[in-house]
């Protein structure tokens, strides 16, 4: 009905027909190897029994006959429908094609109309989006100016905090130097305390030695008391001896007087007095010697005791003074350690505050840049 140029122009305007209304391709299956399949079929076929082979042949012949019969019936029906005229059959096929083409053209026209309406809607939306974009651009410029102003303020704030941070760093270095000096002083105090503790231990040993000496002195005093007791006993013995000697001489003098020998009695009395005087002088010298010796010994011991006591008192005073110095040094050490902890805490706090401010400034800068980029994207 239509010339070939119509179909060519239609295909050129609307694209290849197969792209719009193409038939689906048949599925492609992998082709087996012919030699292998043939070998398998032949081997399986000839490996069957003769009855099976004969039955297969009969079925094949029967299927061929049925195919020929069906083909003949279809040909007769077609010939009966179109009276066997090939022009009518070609015309019907051409009409069917034209109807299909008209249907596809109407469908395509309807699609074109829908596309035009969609294009109009899109144009309207584009205009609305352009208006919104202009508003967003104005907002972006305003926000950009606002955030740039805020960023300038934060940069100034960050610069101020940086200067403060540098000052705090300088103070921290000074505090660190002071801390090092305090630590050296603490070490010196600790060394002094250790020396004083060693001296205290030495004083404790001296105190023990003095106690031992005091015990020795007490023993000597007990010995002196025993010697005094012995001296008293000797004096008692001396008096008894005096009395005995005097009694003997008196008895001899009385005998001599009884006999009438007055001169011999006088001589005996004189000898008795001389003997008693000699004996008394000897005992007196001996006792005086012992008294002088023991008095000197007691005096030496007493002087040693006094000296040891003075040393003990001096060392105890020194010990008390050293303990007071140790307590004062320990209090100074505790105060220095507290000052060190406070300085370190202040340094840590200042550094953390500075880091927080710098972080906040960087976060604000990132937020401004991110907001600007988001507005530009929108």
Per-residue pLDDT at 17 = 42
Residue 101 to residue 8: CA distance in whole angstroms: 13
Token digits of residue 304: 């040693």
Structural domain contains residue 299: yes
Within a domain: 373: no
Indicate whether 169 belongs to any domain. Answer: no
Please indicate, yes or no, if residue 194 is contained in any of the structural domains.
Answer: yes
Specify whether 191 is located in the same domain as 333: yes
Question: Is 295 among the domain residues?
Answer: yes
Helix (H, G, I), strand (E, B) or coil at 47: coil
For residues 196 and 316, membership in a common domain is answered with yes
Q: What confidence score (pLDDT) does residue 194 get? A: 82
Domain boundary among 81, 97, 122: 81
Helices 4-14 and 86-259 pack at an angle, to 10 degrees, of: 20
275 located within any domain? yes
What is the reported pLDDT for 36? 60
0.85 surpassed by pTM: no
Structural domains counted in the chain:
2
Per-residue confidence of the chain (378 residues) as pLDDT tens digits?
Answer: 445 554 455 455 444 444 444 444 433 434 445 556 666 666 666 666 677 777 777 888 998 999 999 888 887 776 655 455 566 667 777 888 888 888 888 898 888 889 889 888 988 898 998 999 889 889 888 988 888 888 888 888 888 888 888 888 888 888 888 888 878 887 887 888 788 778 878 878 877 877 887 787 777 777 777 777 776 777 666 666 666 666 666 666 666 666 666 666 666 667 767 766 776 777 677 667 767 776 776 677 667 767 767 777 776 777 677 667 767 766 776 676 676 667 666 655 555 555 554 555 455 455 545 544 554 454
Q: Are residues 74 and 216 in the same domain?
A: no
Question: Collapsing DSSP states into helix, strand and coil, what is residue 106?
Answer: helix
Measured CA to CA, the distance from residue 249 to residue 267 in angstroms comes to: 10
Q: CA-to-CA distance for 41 and 50, rounded, in angstroms? A: 16
Q: What is the pLDDT of residue 69?
A: 92
In angstroms, rounded to a whole number, what is the distance separating the alpha carbons of residues 175 and 183?
12
Domain end (from 63, 81, 99):
81
- Of 241, 339, 231, 239, which is closest to residue 288 (Cα–Cα)? 231
Which of 81, 100, 133 is the C-terminal boundary of a domain? 81
**Pair (206, 59) in one structural domain:** no
Residues 194 and 66 in one domain: no
Q: Is 371 within a domain?
A: no
Range(s) of the domain holding residue 76:
51-81
Residues 58 and 202 in one domain: no
Asked if 219 and 345 sit in the same domain, the reply is yes
Q: Write out the DSSP string of 54-69.
A: HHHHHHHHHHHHHHHH
Q: Is there a single domain that holds both residue 348 and residue 230?
A: yes
Asked, for residue 282, whether it belongs to a domain, the answer is: yes
């Amino acid at each position: 009905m239509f010339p070939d140029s119509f179909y060519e122009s239609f295909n050129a305007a609307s694209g290849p027909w197969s792209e719009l209304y193409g038939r689906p391709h048949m599925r492609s299956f992998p082709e087996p190897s012919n030699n292998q399949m043939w070998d398998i079929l032949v081997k399986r076929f000839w490996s069957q029994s003769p009855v099976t082979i004969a039955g297969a042949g009969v079925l094949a012949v029967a299927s061929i006959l049925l195919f020929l019969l069906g083909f003949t019936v279809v040909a007769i029906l077609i010939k009966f429908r179109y009276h066997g005229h090939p022009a009518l059959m070609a015309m019907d096929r051409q009409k069917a094609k034209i109807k299909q083409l008209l249907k596809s053209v109407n469908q395509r026209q309807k699609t074109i109309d829908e596309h035009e309406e969609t294009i109009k809607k899109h144009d309207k939306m584009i205009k609305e989006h352009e208006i919104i974009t202009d508003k967003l651009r104005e907002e972006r410029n305003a926000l950009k100016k606002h955030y740039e102003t805020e960023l300038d303020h934060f940069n100034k704030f960050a610069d101020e905090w940086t200067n403060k941070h540098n000052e705090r760093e300088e103070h921290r270095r000074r505090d660190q130097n002071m801390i090092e000096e305090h630590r050296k002083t603490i070490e010196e105090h600790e060394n002094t305390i250790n020396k004083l503790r060693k001296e205290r231990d030495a004083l404790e040993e001296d105190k023990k030695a003095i106690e031992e000496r005091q015990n020795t002195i007490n023993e000597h005093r007990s010995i002196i008391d025993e010697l005094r007791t012995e001296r008293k006993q000797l004096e008692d013995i001396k008096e008894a001896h005096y009395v005995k000697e005097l009694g003997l001489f008196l008895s001899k003098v009385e005998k001599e007087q009884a006999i009438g020998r007055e001169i011999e009695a006088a001589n005996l009395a004189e000898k008795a007095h001389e003997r008693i005087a000699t004996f008394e002088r000897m005992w007196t010298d001996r006792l005086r010697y012992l008294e002088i010796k023991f008095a000197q010994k007691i005096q030496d011991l007493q002087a040693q005791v006094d000296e040891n006591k003075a040393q003990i008192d001096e060392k105890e005073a020194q010990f008390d003074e050293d303990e007071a110095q140790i307590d004062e040094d320990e209090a100074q050490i505790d105060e220095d350690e507290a000052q060190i902890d406070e300085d370190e805490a202040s340094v840590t706090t200042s550094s953390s505050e500075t880091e927080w401010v710098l972080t906040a400034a960087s976060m604000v800068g990132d937020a401004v840049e991110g907001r600007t980029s988001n507005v530009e994207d929108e």
